[in-house]
Amino acid sequence: MNRPRKILVIEDEKDISRVLKDYLTNNGYEVFVAENGQEGLKLIDTLSPDFIILDIMLPDMDGIELCRQTREAYNTPILILSARGSDTDKVLGLGFGADDYMTKPFSLSELVARINAHLRRESMDSRPKHDELLQFGSLIIDKKAYKVTIEGEEISLSAKEFELLYYLSKHKNQVFSKSQLLDAIWGYDTYGDESTITVYIRRLREKLESDPSNPTYIKTVWGVGYKFSLD
């Protein structure tokens, strides 16, 4: 019998953390709670959770900083919860390695749908795959090593940035809408926020392109979506 997947909730509001623990437990997860950032970092090291739910406003440290520190050592999926819904906070959270972002108040059923989608996607990515090394001129994308190089220089990408780049490049010249990319990379489209794709495309261009406003690799097809093309 498979063990329950472990979820770590890092949330200082006890009413919220209690509701999350009860609801997620009822949905078959093993749930642990940390009330501040330092406790959260310790539990990440000791528990090796399968998924992390992280409040952006913690009493002892900024949630985005905790996200950054976690991402330096682990690829565990991270979903940020925030009472602040500004695009700036979302860009910061996703930019420092979060995989998803939800604004309070939120739907518990939507939260579970997103968690299920992330974990399902992670399980699919762990299966052996063919065509794990893609090369386009000086750009080399190594799926097995989760490594991208341009002219021999490694480009630092988060797990989701890499997956988005790999998916687009594997389907060279095919145009995808934002909802299709959400479904392919995050595993959901009904609940997804399409601005997530905009943030990730912008960050990929900043890291890959010598001129992000005139991209070589990831092209915008206005009114439709994006494609990977060297044309």
Q: Which of 91, 109, 125 is the last residue of a domain?
A: 125
Q: Which of 95, 125, 155 is the last residue of a domain?
A: 125
66 and 38 together in one domain: yes
Segment 155-214, tens digit of pLDDT = 998 888 999 999 999 999 999 999 889 888 887 654 557 888 998 999 999 999 999 999
Do the domain assignments include residue 69? yes
| Strands lying side by side in the sheet with 78-82 | 30-34, 6-10, 51-55, 78-82, 100-103
Q: What pLDDT, on a 0 to 100 scale, did the predictor assign at position 164?
A: 93
Q: What pLDDT, on a 0 to 100 scale, did the predictor assign at position 27?
A: 95
Residue 154 is part of which domain span?
Answer: 133-228
Instruction: Count Cβ atoms within 10 A of the Cβ of residue 176 and give its class: 0-12 exposed, 13-18 middle, 19 or more buried.
Output: buried
121 and 20 together in one domain: yes
The domain tally of the chain equals 2
Do the domain assignments include residue 1? no
Please tell me which residue, 179 or 24, carries the higher pLDDT value: 24
Distance, CA of 63 to CA of 54 (rounded, Å): 7
Most confident of 43-52, 100-109, 155-164, 185-194: 43-52
11 and 111 together in one domain: yes
Do the domain assignments include residue 219? yes
Residue 98 sits in a domain whose CATH number is 3.40.50.2300
The whole-model pTM stands at 0.64
Question: What six digits make up the tokens of 168?
Answer: 């687009």
Q: Which of 125, 145, 170 is the last residue of a domain?
A: 125
121 and 150 together in one domain: no
Instruction: Count Cβ atoms within 10 A of the Cβ of residue 64 and give its class: 0-12 exposed, 13-18 middle, 19 or more buried.
Output: buried
**Residue type (1 letter), 65:** E
Segment 56-93, tens digit of pLDDT = 889 998 888 898 888 878 888 999 888 766 666 666 67
Residue 178 sits in a domain whose CATH number is 1.10.10.10
Do the domain assignments include residue 103? yes
- With tokens 């330096």, the residue in question is 72
Pick from 203, 228, 208: nearest CA to 138: 208
- Number of other residues whose CB lies within 10 A of the CB of residue 209: 15
Enter the DSSP assignment of 96. Answer: T
Q: What pLDDT, on a 0 to 100 scale, did the predictor assign at position 127?
A: 47
106 and 141 together in one domain: no
Distance, CA of 207 to CA of 127 (rounded, Å): 28
